[in-house]
Amino acid sequence: MYSPQFTITNKLLKTIGIIEAAKEVIENSPLVPAWEAKFREDALVRTVHHGTHIEGNELNLTEAEKVLAGAKIVGRERDIQEVLNYRSVLKYIETFGEGEFTEEALKRMHELTVRRILPDETVGVYRKTQVVVKNSQTGEVTFRPPPAVEVPFLMTDFLRWLTTTSAEDVHTALKAAIAHYEIVRIHPFLDGNGRVARALATLVLFRDGYDVKRFFALEEHYDREPLAYYESLQSVGKLGGNLTGWLEYFSEGLAIELSRIKDKVKALSTDLKIKKSFGGQQMALTERQIKIVEFIQENGFLQNKTFFELFPMVSEDTVLRELKDLLGKGIVKKEGTTKGARYVLRT
């Protein structure tokens, strides 16, 4: 039976801790429904754009967003179809629920990914010929997947592991990373394997309790530095099948993306709490002021001696000006008059 090889390193433990902490904040922060919908729509657009762009799709983010909104744009027909297809894959993932990771489900994802792009006889079916992955610039063969005759056995064996492995056995983030890699390694389809691999990783996260309100887009992390992404995938083969480096890369990407979303959610939640405290009145706060309010919420108070800790590159006078504005708006109040004075939230 398939059994992944990896070691739990300090780096993995650290990134998993960051993932868990960010997940907790995002899932428990109060956001109005309109903001939640906006976050989900933004994540969908980013996932679709970056998930296809990394494969050579020439549409930019704005063009992809217009296509998803139903607008007509000038672009290659294949590029437009790829964007529409990947949205269909994500919609399928969102409605998957607690279904099993079956070959039928995976083939359906492939069908949605490549319909109207590949010949009908290759859509949703395992490849029957040998393929290779070449460097687009040099033409050098960089990866040779297993022979086509082995694909059905390898897929059955892997999906059995994926179905029977629980979060208690392997953390969900690592399970998703392993699923991503195995689809890339086996390369079960003639084309579209990268998109299916990334989609399956997302499905594993969603199905096993890590949808995190569907606010994140892992594909943006890969597309930002595609060379690092591909080198990390290729490192597994060079290390005799050891997945540790790839798992570190994948979990770090998820940690970065969730931390970024966490910061945005916290800022919005802070703004919402302030509005509630002041009868729904709009309060225009700067980023520094939001950070000050968050610090006081988490620590109870703010003192002059902690200014540098909070804003290491900002002068004390600048921080005091931000505080003076918060005092004027009635959001914080000052207790004491010396250097030991404390700023607390006004209740």
- Tokens 């029977």 sit on residue: 164
As a whole number of angstroms, the distance between CA 248 and CA 270 comes to 32
70 a known binding residue? no
173 known member of a binding site: no
Q: Which two tokens stand for residue 299?
A: 């620590």
Instruction: Specify whether 187 is catalytic.
Output: yes
224 is known to lie in a ligand binding site:
no
Is 271 annotated as a binding-site member? no
CB 200 within 8 A of CB 180: yes
Q: Is 279 annotated as a binding residue?
A: no
Strands 302-303 and 342-345: antiparallel
Instruction: Judge whether 21 is annotated as a binding position.
Output: no
Kindly report the number of other CB atoms within 10 A of residue 332's CB atom.
23
Distance CA 208, CA 217 (A): 17
Please check whether residue 236 is in contact with residue 185, taking contact to mean a CB–CB distance below 8 angstroms: yes
DSSP state letters, 189-250: SSS-HHHHHHHHHHHHHHHTT--GGG---HHHHHHHSHHHHHHHHHHHHHTTTB-HHHHHHH
Return the structure tokens found at 74. 């000038």
Q: Which residue shows structure tokens 């393929």?
A: 131
The dihedrals phi and psi of 44, each to the nearest 5 degrees, come to -65, -45
Q: In the β-sheet with 342-345, what is the strand arrangement from edge to edge?
A: 302-303, 342-345, 332-335
Residue 192 labelled as part of a binding site = yes
Please identify which of the residues 50, 171, 180, 187 carries the catalytic annotation. Answer: 187
Give the rounded distance of the alpha carbon of 187 from its chain centre.
23
Q: Are the beta carbons of 106 and 179 closer than 8 angstroms?
A: no
Residue 195 annotated as binding site: yes
Q: Point out the residues that are catalytic.
A: 187
Residues at the binding site for ATP are 191-198
Residues at the binding site are 191-198
